[in-house]
Structure 1
């Protein structure tokens, strides 16, 4: 089975033949070594040196130089909004206090669909509407940044204990 041993980040793509694509949800985009099959049927082994986050628009580089395109699958999320920026910051603080993955946009926050958190948000004056879209949560303070094609990059996720 051919191996994919490197990730070509979205902002660096411009060379190589794209021969297939994989569509993965947020959880399945955190990988190091796993057998995969592209949408077009190409079997390959993802075999990275260390765990990595595969981002929408990245490509996996096969041993022969061909590429497999990475696409983020749509997921059921909550789109959280608030009446003003300060209220949104407060909601972000409450969501962050629960240590769940969150994608922070200019005027909204996206989290995995959760009826308990939806009620909390509504109780704090925000809105929480179900949507279906790719999920691109923040990497976290200990993850080494983020990679969405705008200059920073993901590392592996680490956790720390609270006293």
Structure 2
């Protein structure tokens, strides 16, 4: 017999334990799993929770998921294999950013460095242009696209069937 699935009623940006409520559980998700409209997630404690929003949402590390049970579940960004890109100077880093943007690659901007998903072809291109690449395991939270809006309410269309249930295990 399956355990009941709690429904996510709302998302509390950057929720804090003790301010927004005590954490009942957490869910650890990679970047793709944090960008959904409808999904059944499995918490670290093994419980099912249902995300069912009118539009796709972007969950960030530290967000709180308010459940219909009154509990609060913390979102944790799972580490992923990434490439951290640096350059000897800012003009070259900007040039590298342009090349990544020209290829429509999701890119996380971190001031003096950038992160992209692991891709050996892109790493070779970056190094050929004078940049440096380091393989890291870290949470990935790239910039949203120019037409996605700003802030926590950004959303995207993944082209998938929004009436199916997908399952993620944290």
Report TM bin, short chain: 0.7 to 0.9
**Equivalent in 62, 86, 90 of residue 95 of structure 2:** 90
1:88 Cα deviation after fit: 0.3
RMSD over aligned Cα, in angstroms? Answer: 1.7
Deviations 1:82-128 (A, max 9, x none): 11000000000001100010001110010001000000000100001
In the alignment, the residues of structure 2 paired with residue 11 and residue 43 of structure 1 have an alpha-carbon distance, to the nearest angstrom, of: 20
Q: State the TM-score, normalized to the length of structure 2.
A: 0.84
Partner of 1:6: 10
Task: Tell me the SS of whatever aligns to 2:44.
Answer: coil
1:49 Cα deviation after fit: 2.8
Q: Does 1:20 align with 2:14?
A: no
Whether the aligned pair in 1 keeps the contact of 2:6 and 2:67 (CA below 8 Å) is yes
Q: 1:45 to 1:158 in 2, by over 3 A?
A: closer
* Unaligned 5+ runs, structure 1: 146-151
Task: Tell me the SS of whatever aligns to 2:55.
Answer: strand
Q: Does 1:45 align with 2:50?
A: yes
Q: State the TM-score, normalized to the length of structure 1.
A: 0.88
Bigger drift between 12-21 and 89-98 goes to 12-21
Partner of 2:81: 76
Task: Tell me the SS of whatever aligns to 2:11.
Answer: strand
Partner of 2:63: 58
Whether the aligned pair in 2 keeps the contact of 1:144 and 1:153 (CA below 8 Å) is no
Task: Tell me the SS of whatever aligns to 1:106.
Answer: coil
Bigger drift between 3-12 and 94-103 goes to 3-12
* Unaligned 5+ runs, structure 2: 159-170
In the alignment, the residues of structure 2 paired with residue 133 and residue 122 of structure 1 have an alpha-carbon distance, to the nearest angstrom, of: 21
Q: 1:153 to 1:46 in 2, by over 3 A?
A: closer
1:64 Cα deviation after fit: 2.6
1:158 Cα deviation after fit: 6.2
